[in-house]
Amino acid sequence: MRRVNPYVVLLVLAGCGRAEPPTLKDFDAAVVPLPGASGGGASAPTAASASASAPASASAAASASAAAPVALLDSGTDPGTLPQTKDKPAAKGEAFDARVEALFRGIVEDDPDKAMPFFFPVTAYEQVKAVGNPAGDWRRRLVTAYKRDIHALHKRLGERASEAKLVRAEVPDDRMKWVEPDEEYNKLGYYRVYGTRIVYSIDGKERSFDVSSLISWRGEWYVVHLTGFK
């Protein structure tokens, strides 16, 4: 058998790419990729599908590496990497129901990561917001508040949280508004609605909690503020 010169191997590996591998300090354990809600249910992306759907721009790729899961399109593409549209979002359909279910499951199980498919995608946020370092703002401010709210809502369910059953999501379509660019530090427009209610039951008795703000991306609703505005 022919011996392989270890120095040749090192040179070959060095030539495969110039990017430095992520260090431990770059890893955000609070925001980690998980399966997104899509069509027939959540499934973990394979290495091949992740590679095929990687964002083209360097900034989007960097954000995706630290981003939480999103609801993928049937093609396996992150919708946040596609252009915004003025399609009106509807509070119905398989994808919407799956995202609401993900939020409720995250609250019941006190596991915010499971609720991330219903949160506004970081890739879309980068396109929308006219602020410095939108991905950092998304992670440090919005996601932190979202996860804190989920923990608080879990405590509100009490000792019988595991028995809670999701009933429906009530989105007040009559309050839906198209937000023009520059109205809310935004470069792009989107639909926004306040006062959504998530209705659930324990022992057959219906209860609910409010979702402060949903905003749209390509005709789909996502949470941006769960409880209050932080």
Question: DSSP assignment of 9-60, as one string?
Answer: HHHHHHTT--SPPPPGGG--TTS---PPP-TT---PPPHHHHHHT--SSHHH
pLDDT of amino acid 54:
40
| Position with higher pLDDT, 229 vs 87 | 87
Closest residue by Cα to residue 134 from 205, 184, 87: 184
Q: Is residue 135 part of a domain?
A: yes
Structural domain of 215: 88-230
Q: Is residue 145 part of a domain?
A: yes
pLDDT of amino acid 71:
60
Residues 56-67: pLDDT tens digits? 444 443 443 344
pLDDT of amino acid 45:
38
Q: Is residue 41 part of a domain?
A: no
The listed range with the strongest mean pLDDT (21-30, 44-53, 194-203) is: 194-203
pLDDT of amino acid 38:
34
| Position with higher pLDDT, 160 vs 64 | 160
Domain count, the chain: 1
Mean pLDDT to the nearest integer, 168-176: 97
| Position with higher pLDDT, 229 vs 120 | 120
Mean pLDDT of the chain: 78
Mean pLDDT to the nearest integer, 78-101: 95
Q: Is residue 19 part of a domain?
A: no
Q: Is residue 9 part of a domain?
A: no
d(CA 122, CA 64): 8
Q: Checking DSSP bridges between strand 165-170 and strand 177-179, what pairing results, if any?
A: unpaired
pLDDT of amino acid 229:
86
Mean pLDDT to the nearest integer, 87-103: 96
Q: Is the pLDDT of residue 192 over 90?
A: yes
